[in-house]
Amino acid sequence: MPWKKVVGLLAIMAVFAFVFILAGCGGGQEESTGTASGEMAEEQVLIHNIGTEPESLDPAKITGIPEGTAVYQLFEGLTRITEDGLKPAVAESWDVSPDGLTYTFHLRDGAKWNNGDPVTAYDFEYAWKRALNPETECEYAYQLYYVKNGEAYNAGEITDPDQVGVKALDEKTLEVTLEAPAPYFLSLTSFYTLYPVHKATVEANPDWANAPETFVSNGPFNLENWEHHSKLELVKNDTYWDAENVKLDKVILTMVEEQATYLTMWENGEIDTIESPPLADMDRLRAEGKLQTKPYLGVYYYIFNTEQEPFDDPKVRKALALAIDRKTIVEKITKGGQLPAFALVPPGIPDAEPGSDFREVGGDLFKEDVETAKQLLAEAGYPNGEGLPEITILYNTHEAHKTIAEAIQEMWKTNLGIENVKLTNQEWKVYLNSRDEGDFHVARAGWIGDYADPMTFVDMFVTGGSQNDGRWSNARYDELVETAKNTGDQKVRMEAMHEAEEILMDEMAVMPIYFYTLNVCEQDYVRDVFWDPLGPPHFKSAWIAKH
């Protein structure tokens, strides 16, 4: 009788379920730790999870990490950011005029598109003007605002692209004129918005970037296959000028969103590298030596709505900022090796002196101190929190943000006696809308730098800045940012930005909580992946060891 088999099957399934629920409680992994050697494996294929379908693969149309990850392997700019800093890429060398305003890039002879055409200065000129053209709707066009008239052209104030300060002098020479000296401009040329595109292809076919057949690129890898919402397959590009130093034959980028799923895939050896494992597994992975914590240029902070009582009083803002315990938050909640933040700009950004770090030079700009906090609150007219209106902390719906907000709520209550702190969460775009409209008391925020210079953080809080949702305003701060933006003298710039940051923290316009880190898991046979502190990884030099 067939039903007996069915019942048997059901019983077996049930037994399995029970056994493994029980086994799960015991834990215990008998995974063999690999025996990866220094030799290269036969099969040079690396599988990395990017988590989600890229919006596009056109360098002018992308913004996110998944997109960036794909495009960094497919294209190459004038320079390339590597483990050892900025290196020449399509540009072999460059000259900078003494006033720091004109950059002349000399392009490499061997640089080719994967259809065999040489990569020319005209391609760069075309690509940059295209990105700035408001018709292109490039969301990261502001990365080119340092170029003369870039912003004016992008904003539609001028319509003649010839006025934009980028010009191909000949096939191999690109001249760039800047709006103002910007010492970090060079590092921006390694960013995808400033990548070249193949002029003839793009002009002929607006949909060129949608399918491998029409896709023309100049990076270490070619687009071979694009299975939407599933995976991207990239293969080594033999026409790439530095192909001899590219060891991987193939890079597969999978699009598995669910954290627990991709972690299991990684632990099963189905994928080789992942970013951001689930919070719940952080401690275990670290204990097992599977978690790597990398620097990441970002800061997690709370914004005060400085137009509202009581947050219009710097004393209140300061009291709130001094009365929380950041160490507990990073150790007990975020668990990813994040650093408590006592300033705005994260470590990892060079200062004026070679080899120095902006954060180290600046040091911590305030100290947690409950007694001072209490005193400040009393001075502001709210002794022991009495008389304070209700405070609501706004965050976008996410478990980690919620836990942090709860901790801060508790710390304010215990340390300052503030009883009426409420939490409210909103779906991402609703939350952005509330922040933008100033419809909040205290809001959670995070910022990842666009380039490795303090300016990417400092210029957020100028009066009227698009990120300045707390609408804080300080004339001296604005002046200092302006000074820093208009000089090429690194010493003057850095000094101005240090002073600006001190003002910001003295007024506690925003409350820094921690500096981000990037948590990754790599199989032990994966070698030399470069995890960029600004975001997407680079696989140009990566390889797979024998295992």
Partner 1 sequence: MSRYVLKRLIASLITLWVIVTLTFILMHSIPGGPFSYEKELPKAIIENLNKRYHLDWPLWKQYLDYLVHLIQWDLGPSFKYESMTVNDIINKGFPVSAALGGISLGFALVLGITAGVISALKQYQWQDSLVMLMATLGFSVPSFILASLFIYIFSYKLHWLPAAMWGKPEQVIMPALALSALPTAFIARMVRTTMLEVLSQDYIRTAWAKGLSGRVVILRHALKNALLPVLSYLGPLTAAILTGSFVVEKIFGIPGMGRQFVTSIYNRDYTTIMGVTIFYSIILILANFLVDIMYAYLDPRIKVTGEKE
In the bound state with partner 1, the residue whose beta carbon lies nearer, of 287 and 466, is 466
In the complex, minimum distance from the CB of residue 269 to partner 1, in angstroms, rounded to a whole number: 9
Cα(392)–Cα(425) distance, integer angstroms:
10
**Nearest-CA neighbor of 373 among 416, 333, 319?**
319
In the bound state with partner 1, the residue whose beta carbon lies nearer, of 14 and 40, is 14
Cα(173)–Cα(134) distance, integer angstroms:
26
In the complex, minimum distance from the CB of residue 258 to partner 1, in angstroms, rounded to a whole number: 5
In the complex, minimum distance from the CB of residue 47 to partner 1, in angstroms, rounded to a whole number: 10
Q: Which two tokens stand for residue 207?
A: 């949909």
Which DSSP letter does residue 81 get?
Answer: E
In the bound state with partner 1, the residue whose beta carbon lies nearer, of 7 and 243, is 7
In the complex, minimum distance from the CB of residue 228 to partner 1, in angstroms, rounded to a whole number: 6
In the bound state with partner 1, the residue whose beta carbon lies nearer, of 7 and 40, is 7
In the complex, minimum distance from the CB of residue 134 to partner 1, in angstroms, rounded to a whole number: 5
- 8 A C-beta contact, residue 458 and residue 501: yes
In the bound state with partner 1, the residue whose beta carbon lies nearer, of 527 and 547, is 547
Cα(75)–Cα(61) distance, integer angstroms:
14
Q: Which amino acid, one-letter code, is at 296?
A: Y
Cα(481)–Cα(496) distance, integer angstroms:
7
- 8 A C-beta contact, residue 164 and residue 128: yes
Cα(57)–Cα(222) distance, integer angstroms:
12
List contacts with partner 1 (CB under 8 A): 2-3, 6-7, 10-11, 14, 16-17, 20-21, 23-24, 52-53, 55-58, 61, 63, 134-135, 137-139, 141-142, 151, 154-156, 207, 209-211, 226-231, 254-258, 260-262, 264-265, 267-268, 270, 427-430, 432-434, 436, 466-467
In the complex, minimum distance from the CB of residue 249 to partner 1, in angstroms, rounded to a whole number: 20
In the complex, minimum distance from the CB of residue 271 to partner 1, in angstroms, rounded to a whole number: 9
Cα(475)–Cα(480) distance, integer angstroms:
9
In the bound state with partner 1, the residue whose beta carbon lies nearer, of 26 and 98, is 26
In the complex, minimum distance from the CB of residue 303 to partner 1, in angstroms, rounded to a whole number: 12
- Between the CA of residue 269 and those of 16, 252, 264, 266, what are the distances in Å? 23, 14, 8, 5
In the complex, minimum distance from the CB of residue 267 to partner 1, in angstroms, rounded to a whole number: 6
**Nearest-CA neighbor of 535 among 448, 456, 445, 446?**
448
- Kindly report the backbone phi and psi dihedral angles of residue 81, in degrees, each rounded to the nearest multiple of 5, phi listed first: -85, 130
In the bound state with partner 1, the residue whose beta carbon lies nearer, of 57 and 91, is 57
In the bound state with partner 1, the residue whose beta carbon lies nearer, of 309 and 399, is 399
**Torsional sign, CA 273, 275, 276, 278:** negative
- 8 A C-beta contact, residue 358 and residue 349: yes
In the complex, minimum distance from the CB of residue 309 to partner 1, in angstroms, rounded to a whole number: 25
Q: What three-state secondary structure class fits 333? A: helix
In the bound state with partner 1, the residue whose beta carbon lies nearer, of 31 and 379, is 31
In the bound state with partner 1, the residue whose beta carbon lies nearer, of 276 and 467, is 467
Cα(86)–Cα(183) distance, integer angstroms:
13
In the bound state with partner 1, the residue whose beta carbon lies nearer, of 232 and 246, is 232
In the complex, minimum distance from the CB of residue 218 to partner 1, in angstroms, rounded to a whole number: 20
Cα(254)–Cα(230) distance, integer angstroms:
6
Kindly report the CA angle at 347 between 345 and 352, in degrees rounded to 5?
A: 85
Q: Which two tokens stand for residue 461?
A: 């809080």
In the complex, minimum distance from the CB of residue 380 to partner 1, in angstroms, rounded to a whole number: 31
Helices 399-416, 370-379: crossing angle, 10 deg rounding: 70
- Rounded to the nearest 10°, the torsion over CA 425, 429, 433, 434 is 0
In the bound state with partner 1, the residue whose beta carbon lies nearer, of 254 and 305, is 254
- Between the CA of residue 116 and those of 177, 218, 315, what are the distances in Å? 30, 10, 64
